[in-house]
Amino acid sequence: MHTFILVCFVYLFFFYSDGWSKDLIIDEKELFSDTSSFVNPSEIVNTTPKPSKKKRKVTYFNGVVNGAFLGDVNRHWYGDRDSNNIHMSNFIVGNFMLDIRLRRSNKGFLNLELPYFPTYGSALVLLRELFIDGNIGKTVYWRMGKQVLQWGRCILWNPTDLINVEKKLFIPKIGYREGTYGLKMHVPFGTEYNLYGFLDTKSLTVFDSLALALKFEFLRNNTEMALSLWAKNHAHPVFAYDVSTRIIGFDITGELSFSEAANNYMLMASNDTLFIDKSGGVQTKACIDVGKKFNFLDFPQNLSVTLSFFFNSSGYKENIFRDTMIYLFMPPLIAQQNMRSQMPASLQAAALQTPKYTGTKKEFLLGNNLYEQHNYSRFYAAVFTQVDRLYLSGLTGTFNVVTNLPQISMIFSGGLFYTTIYEFFMGLVISAYVGGKNTEYTFDNKAIGLQANIGMTFY
């Protein structure tokens, strides 16, 4: 409680300090806007329309329609050639965005996602983002509503990001990321300093459910750094540091976070009983990306290669997926609310009468939604390669690898993406899951994955 009050006091101090607000030069860039947004919010904030009695607002309606085909081959297929070990699905998703720009850099934004699944003959309506932007005297910029934030610098792992509800994925997602709900603020102090704040209200029921994140960003020569803090009542504060710089032609970004104890639940074992608890001791997560661009096929700087390393002190030391021992579950799996909520109402009553009291660690881990891909073990590495203008001006090629180092388990992913001048696009991603039996990337027996999509962008 005291930590939360102290954080609020520090935030208000910076907010109302007169000495920092002289000679402001607004430059939001992309520091607080998600780069996957269809309309770049930074461009909107930086655009200051001249007051006019005839034209008070500008409305844009745009979006993306994307048809996808997914397939995967089970490892058992190589032995029995049974077609049941080849799974396929397809769907189409439309993202419809409404961008309303008002005078004085105020705006409203809506991203509505409508996926349709022909196999089930059903469609969903998903609200990815819905927010309003405003400012106070061109000094304090704020955004309220459901939004995706750019909080973190590294490509895949973001130890400093405790805000977004949907993490970045290794395999490209068809559609857009889910936004989180709250109020964010940005106070620029010239070109060298920025103060960011986000009040997380997505789980707001009582005062203790509020969470607050603060970030102070500063520039020194060609190096940009930030100190941040995440705090919530009855939770351990998380302190973080991130940096972005260039050294002898290499682009280096890094993130580091630590807390005095864990805030997330993990699988725990005592003798032959499994239960959920939070681990004690200092929790540290760190990621570093080292990248460089090269000339390729007579094009300047069109080949980029980035090496990434991730350390997660709260990851499991053992390989849970290989433990075949039968344990007692405490509490039983079906008693978990997150399991019941995924079931149809007609099945909930029956399910509650047949709880699962015993099973393996793998069943307990997955059944309680405790597994998070690329964040399960302690040490990871990845390579991200991209070639722009690959023989054609609109063709991009990628080749990426992510590795669970202790388990020697990997995903190899290669992709081709083509965009025409008429905003028509298509993509193909083929992934291979490599490693011994029952490792992080092979426990579900998937061997090959395929993702193809074709679509168009409209304005």
- Of the candidates 189, 213, 199, 169, the residue with the CA atom closest to the CA atom of residue 374: 169
Amino acid identity, position 185:
M
Structure tokens that stand for 291 in this block: 């990248």
Q: Where are the beta strands (DSSP E) in 103-175?
A: 107-117, 122-123, 126-136, 140-147
Model confidence pLDDT, tens digit, residues 356-410 = 899 999 999 999 999 999 999 999 999 999 999 998 889 999 999 999 999 999 9
pLDDT score recorded for residue 70 = 96
**pLDDT tens-digit map of 28-61:** 334 344 433 333 333 333 334 444 455 567 889 9
- 422 pLDDT tier (thresholds 50, 70, 90): confident
The edge-to-edge listing of strands for the beta sheet with 266-270 is 266-270, 273-277, 327-329, 358-359
Residue 209 pLDDT > 70, yes or no?
yes
Give the per-residue pLDDT at 297.
84
**End-to-end CA distance of the chain, in Å?**
48
Decide if 347 is inside a domain: no
Nearest to 306 by CA among 407, 226, 386, 397: 386
Q: Are 229 and 7 in contact (CB under 8 A)?
A: yes
Residue at 334 is within a domain: no
Q: Is 24 helix (H, G, I), strand (E, B) or coil?
A: coil
Tokens coding 322: 């290989």
Cβ(229)–Cβ(242) below 8 Å? no
Tell me: the pLDDT tens digits for 352-365? 457 889 999 999 99
**pLDDT at position 310 over 80:** yes
Total structural domains in the chain?
1
Neighbours of 94 (CB within 10 A): 18
Q: Domain range holding 453?
A: 2-325+360-458
The answer to the question of residue 250 being in a domain is yes
Q: pLDDT > 90: what percent of the chain? A: 71
High-pLDDT (> 70) share of the chain, %? 83
- On whether residue 306 sits in a domain, the answer given is yes
CA–CA dist 22, 195 (Å, integer) = 15
How much is the CA Rg of the chain, to the nearest whole Å?
Answer: 24
CATH code for the domain of 432:
2.40.160.10
**Mean pLDDT of all residues in 227-253:** 96
- Asked if residue 391 is part of any domain, the answer here is yes
pLDDT given for residue 48 in this prediction: 40
Residue 459: predicted pLDDT: 87
In a domain, 337, yes or no: no
Q: Which residue has the higher pLDDT, 441 or 392?
A: 441
**What pLDDT does 353 receive?**
53
- Per-residue pLDDT, averaged over 158-166, amounts to 94
Write the CB contacts of 375 (distance below 8 Å, at least 6 apart in sequence): 157, 167, 312, 315
Q: Are 244 and 232 in contact (CB under 8 A)?
A: no
Look at the block and give the residue holding tokens 């009291």: 357
Let me know if residue 348 belongs to a domain.
no
